[in-house]
Structure formats: structure tokens, C-alpha cells
Structure 1
Amino acid sequence: MSLVANQIVCITGSSRGIGRACAIEFAKHGAHGLILHYYGDAETEADVQSLRGQLESSTLRIITVSGDIGDPATSTKIVDAGISAFGRIDVLVANAGICPFAEFLTMPHAIWEKTRQVNLDGSFYVVQAVANQMKTQIPQGGSIIGISSISALVGGELQCHYTPTKAGILSLMQSCAVALGKYGIRANAVLPGTIATDLNKEDLSDLTKREYMIKRTALKRLGAPDDIAGPVVFLASDLAKYVTGASLLVDGGLFVNLQ
């Protein structure tokens, strides 16, 4: 079933993890064009080009755009490249994020600044830039999905810098739903639970902690990136055409499992 047939989809932080899984899922469901943003170092460059080689076909064109998402110029660059290649952007997945685990009392302010710049500032910049383009696409509008986190709802000892940014993304999507609805633009948040990605690879290498997180999850397994990609494609599609301002918790039952 082609849920996003002929759609032009922009994904930030697409070289690995959830962003990469989303690109694969959008390709599977009929996207016509992908705008894949990545950070731009040698490792993410190699990853995004391998993804491009894997997915690009006669029916799917892919462009790649590098840059620090915490710099507003990167969002302008993303939109300009997308419009030059495709003439429009139908879907934005604001996914790029970092989580350098750190103790609160000794956390250097530079870690707080960088985490906020990438996660929250970067989301704001790209959502604003893409929404301004989508506004011109009336009556077509568009769909914006912000990748928040279960951490928007609960705390974490080593995440005092991270959880506020994810709560901010949730709030951003709620307010954007109100601000952009008149332009036919929907804005929703997806809140992943514990997903095994490079973001938390080191943290989950502690086998005791890993087993604890698995036990806490009702489905008794950690999430995988493609567990998030399906709900993202749903929110982008016409199956969710009356869904805006929503927050979709995709956590395998972690949040509700108190005992």
C-alpha cells in the first residue's frame, strides 16, 4: 500500500538510527523524493551515501544536504535544495538530535548549549523554514512530525540537559499545530521510548541497565528504529489527515509499566 505516493519528504539526521529507518519506510510506501539531511563528517557522509545507494531508483530521487542543524543557515540550505530539486516539500521529519549523557552537577555548560542547539534550536529552525515553504503550497499544505521522546514526559538522572529539549519539541509541535492549521499544515510529535540506536549505544552497553530497561517494557524488548518509522509514515499520510497537535507515544509499554 502506497501511503505517501508521490510525496516529497525531508528528514533531518537521516544517516543512521530513526532517521535512516524513516527514509527506508517512506521509500517503501511510495515517496517520490527524499531530502536527506546529515551532519557532514566523514562517517555520516558515508552512511547517508550508502543509504542513497540502497534506496534511489527510477521512481525515487534522493538529494543529500549536509550541515549542523543547530545553525539556522542549514535549514535554509535544506529548503533551498529541496525546492531546487523538487519544487515542493510535503513532509518534514525533524529528527536530528544528540544525547551526550552527563551528570547534572558537574555538566559543563557547553554540553547544555550544544544539546539545546541541536535538539531544540535545530528543530525550531527547520520547522520554521519548511513551514514557510509549505504555506505557499495551499491548498496542499503539508505534514510536520517532530521526533520528541518519552523523555519529554519523565526524567533521567543523566539527561537533565536532554529531557527539556525533548519536552520543548513536544510543545513546539502542539503550538505549530495551532499556528499552521490555517495553512493546511499538520504538526504532530512522536515520542519514542528506549530505542537501540547509536545515541544510547554506550549507555545500553551496561548489561544490567539494558536488562532493566527490557524488563520495564511491557513488550519485553527494546525498540528498533523501524518501530518508530511506521508511526511516522502514518502521521505523514492521509490516514492521519485529521490528526494534528497529537503526541504519539511509541515505547512498547514502558511509560505505563509502573510495577
Structure 2
Amino acid sequence: MLSSRDTDSRRISRRGIGRACAIEFAKQGASGLILHYLGDAETEGEIQPLKADLERQGVRTVAIPGDIALLETSAKIIQAGVEAFGRIDILVSNVGICPFSDFLTMPLETWERTRQVNLDGTFYIVQAAAVQMAKQTPQGGSLIAISSISGLLGGAQQCHYGPTKAAITSLMQNCAVALGKYGIRANAILPGTVATDINKEDLKDLKKKEYMINRTLLGRLGTPEDIAGPVLFLASDLAKYVTGASLVVDGGLFVNFQ
């Protein structure tokens, strides 16, 4: 369905958008999934039930722990995927942290960690997957990075986060140019406000939450499942002529200037 190949491996993450993507890929017939997670006690407790559920559905699943901000984590993810499935066909890079912080008092460590995880981590895994996609037979694959409309718009407490997401969108555009000759497509998805762990504390401010809901044209915040569908589209042969695209998935928030 998503690929004509018998072995169809995809790398995603463990919760929120990543979890929703894993479940949706499984529903649509994925034969193999690579799940990446941080590897601490909390994430270990979350990934194993997801892995077990996917395997009960007949999906071969590999779970790889590690800090994505470290170069060796991406190498480990790709190596494990190739050992298990023989190739990498689809990458969904869903990394992202946003420790909200005022610009004037932002600790340097907050800037550095956000950049290391969001941008450096995305670069590492995209490059590692692309190297594999370029050398496997047949060549090719689909690279999908989760960016954000925060890379297009400003936020008073996101002066560290927004630039990393803008850079991820640019990274995928440039990768599309660099990798097209290998049959590799590269696209970005730019979610609006999606209720996940990254903003759960921020959305406890009910006035702010109501404001964000009213900014959308559909009258609600996004869900992880709202992002999984567009990810699936870009991964599939339905999007086989789509590369270098930046798909905004935000319930109309970006265009609403009223």
C-alpha cells in the first residue's frame, strides 16, 4: 500500500505524533517499524506496550533507545533497521523539545539543548537515513521531518524553538535538491498547535488555550492523529511526485489574520 517493496521499514518515535504515526502505519499495512525513544525509565515504560501492541498486529518492530542529540544514536537506529529489515524506505523525524523561556533571561544551556535536539538531531538522522537510501538497491526513499508553524511565526517564549523549526523546513528543501538524483524525496510537515507533551504545561493556561482554539478556523486544537494522516500521504506512493514541499497542517491557524 505504502510501498511496492515487501520489506518496508520506517523509523518513528514513541508518543504523541510519533505514536500516532506508528499506529497509522500499522493500520495501513506496514511490515516493519523502527521505534526510537530516549531510553530513560519513563520512555522505556511507554515504548514497550506500544511495541507489543504493534507486534500483536503482525508488524515486525524494533525499538532503539538513545539521545537523538548524539551522532551515534542515529547510526545505531539505521544500523538496527538495516539488520532487521535489510533497508530503510521511510524516515519520519519527529524530534522536538520546547522548554518555554523568556528571551532576555534564557540560559545558554536552554538554547544549546534545544538546538542540539531539534536541529542537530534532525540533521543526524536525516543524513544517516539518506546515506542508506542512496546505497541500497533499489535506491530511494521518503524523508519526512516534522517542523512547525513556529518556524514561520513568532512566539515570545520560543526564540530558541522557532529558529530550529525554520531550519528543519529549510533542511528538507535543500535535501530535496541534493537527493532527488537518488530517488529520495524530502518533505516537511508544519503542524500548528497540537495537544502533546511538548505544550501540555503551556495549555494549562485556559485563557491561552481558548485563544489558540479560536485562532484556528476549525475551532479546535490539533491531535496527533491529525498529523499522522499527512505523514502517511507523504510516505506513500500517492505522493511519489512530491518533494521539497512544506505542508502546513494547522486547522487554518496560519492563514487566520482576522
Q: TM-score range by the shorter chain?
A: over 0.9
Name the aligned partner's letter for residue 244 of structure 1.
T
Deviation track 1:163-209 (CA, whole Å, cap 9, x = no partner) reads 00000000000000000000000000000000000100000000000
The Cα shift of 1:138 comes to 4.4
Contact 2:176/2:244 (<8 A) preserved: yes
Residue in 1 aligned with 2:63?
64
- TM-score, normalization by structure 1: 0.97
The Cα shift of 1:137 comes to 2.2
Following TM superposition, the consecutive aligned residue runs of length 4 or more in structure 1 with deviations greater than 6 angstroms are none
- TM-score, normalization by structure 2: 0.97
The Cα shift of 1:92 comes to 0.2
Contact 1:140/1:184 (<8 A) preserved: yes
1:21 aligns with 2:26: no
Structure 2 alignment gaps of length 5 or more: none
The Cα shift of 1:15 comes to 1.5
Structure 2 CA distance for partners of 1:176 and 1:138, relative to 1, 3 Å = farther
Residue in 2 aligned with 1:231?
230
Equivalent residue pairs, number: 256
Name the aligned partner's letter for residue 187 of structure 2.
N
State how 1:1-259 maps to structure 2 within 5 Å: 2-4=1-3, 6=6, 7-11=8-12, 14-57=13-56, 59-259=58-258
SS for the counterpart of 2:104 is coil
SS for the counterpart of 1:64 is strand
- Whole-angstrom distance in 2 between the partners of 1:45 and 1:66: 8
Contact 1:96/1:118 (<8 A) preserved: yes
SS for the counterpart of 1:186 is strand
The Cα shift of 1:140 comes to 3.9
The Cα shift of 1:50 comes to 1.2
Q: CA RMSD in A?
A: 1.1
- Whole-angstrom distance in 2 between the partners of 1:43 and 1:258: 40
- Whole-angstrom distance in 1 between the partners of 2:57 and 2:65: 24
The Cα shift of 1:57 comes to 3.4
Deviation track 1:7-62 (CA, whole Å, cap 9, x = no partner) reads 21111xx1211111111111111111000000111111111111111111363100
Contact 1:153/1:167 (<8 A) preserved: yes
Contact 2:212/2:221 (<8 A) preserved: yes
> Which moves more between the two structures, 79-88 or 134-143?
134-143
